[in-house]
Amino acid sequence: MDEFSSSSVASRIADIHEAFSDASVDGILTVIGGYNSNQLLKHLDYDLLAKNPKILCGFSDVTALGNAIMAKSKFITYTGPHFSSWAIKYGFDYSIEYFKKCCMSNEPYELIASDVWSDDPWFVNQEDRDFLKNEGYWIINPGIGQGRSVGSHTRCLSALQGTEFWPGLNNSILLLEEDFETNPQLFDRLLQSFIHLPDFKGVKGILVGRFQRNSEMTRELLTKIISTKPEIANIPVIANVNFGHTLPLATLPIGGELKIMADAGGARIFVMSH
């Protein structure tokens, strides 16, 4: 591990290629996130991966890998727990349930909001956990949308804009989430950059993952940000969903089919294919 909490491009590429080539490997979980997965994109053998499709799951920085592989190798990848996440001692049952539904079954399922959530550093002290009551999904814009799931971590997805690794937004449900390093102003800027893309008109709905408390994003601020974007006034937007950098963490497909519905009766999210 170097001064960037990483290792050489060559060593990481070798690991990925070995894992995809090994017929005894059914799934690949990234150990943790970081900042530089996009260093690998030019060096991956996408034909090799396409001939050996298998589960690739992780979140945060792994968004760059997941979307690029989905775009270039044409198979579904996943945003969900890292390998390190499985060491969580308390409050992990929801994460296990939706990992199984997404990665170990072919049946469509509904993503139900968790009862509680946590934003504490579980990796510092497993016995000192703070669980908060979940107020459920936030309906920012009502409506119905169905499409191919794209995205997750906004800065990592943004880093793919204008490259051959861009997954495209045609007929898509856009997944957006950020961590404590961002703030409402930066999230607004990232969202605006996606709106400026020629294919943004293909977005059929937006799911926003739960923000960490240190981001200082609130329901009111997010609603105001969305309300300033006329381009998304007529598509459904549901926020406070169990993906991102808080716990528990649902697994969602990148390149799967989602259907979202939001009206006065509430919000519902269905994973149709994964």
37 catalytic per annotation: no
DSSP conformation class of 247: B
pLDDT at 217: 96
Establish whether the linkage from the previous residue to 248 is cis, with ω within 30° of 0: yes
Full domain range(s) for residue 96: 9-273
Span 102-127, average pLDDT: 95
Task: State the Cα–Cα distance between residues 30 and 217, nearest whole angstrom.
Answer: 28
User: In this predicted structure, what is the pLDDT of residue 1?
Assistant: 83
Place of tokens 């060593």: 11
Residue 60 a catalytic site member: yes
- Comparing 119-128, 140-149, 215-224, which segment has the lowest mean pLDDT? 119-128
Total of domains in the chain? 1
Per annotation, catalytic residue among 60, 114, 152, 172: 60
In a domain, 202, yes or no: yes
pTM of the model: 0.96
- pLDDT band with cut points at 50, 70 and 90 for residue 6: confident
Report, as an integer, the average pLDDT of 2-13.
91
Residue 150 near residue 175, CB atoms below 8 Å: yes
Active-site position among 82, 153, 245, 274: 245
Which position among 85, 172, 177, 274 bears the catalytic label?
177
pLDDT for position 155: 96
Per-residue model confidence as pLDDT tens digits over 198-245: 999 999 999 999 999 999 999 999 999 999 999 999 999 999 999 999
Residue 3 lies in a domain: no
| Cβ pair 173, 238 in contact under 8 A | no
Integer Cα distance of 52 and 46 in angstroms: 10
Helix, strand, coil in percent for the chain, rounding step 5:
35, 25, 40
246: in domain? yes
256 within a domain of the structure (yes/no): yes
- DSSP secondary structure string for all residues of 177-207: E--TT--HHHHHHHHHHHHTSGGGGGEEEEE
Q: Are strands 55-58 and 77-79 parallel, antiparallel or unpaired?
A: parallel
Cα atoms in the Cβ-side hemisphere of radius 13 Å centred on 82: 19
Mean pLDDT score across all residues of the chain: 96
Does the residue 200 lie in any domain?
Answer: yes
pLDDT in tens, 167-208: 999 999 999 999 999 999 999 999 999 999 999 999 999 999
Is 4 domain-assigned? no
Structure tokens at 269: 């999210």
Amino acid type, 93: D
Residue 3 pLDDT? 86
CATH number at residue 155: 3.50.30.60
With contact defined as beta carbons under 8 Å apart, do 146 and 108 qualify?
no
Asked if the structure places residue 249 within a domain, the reply is yes
Structure tokens at 196: 């400026």
pLDDT over 90 at 4, yes or no: no
In a domain, 1, yes or no: no
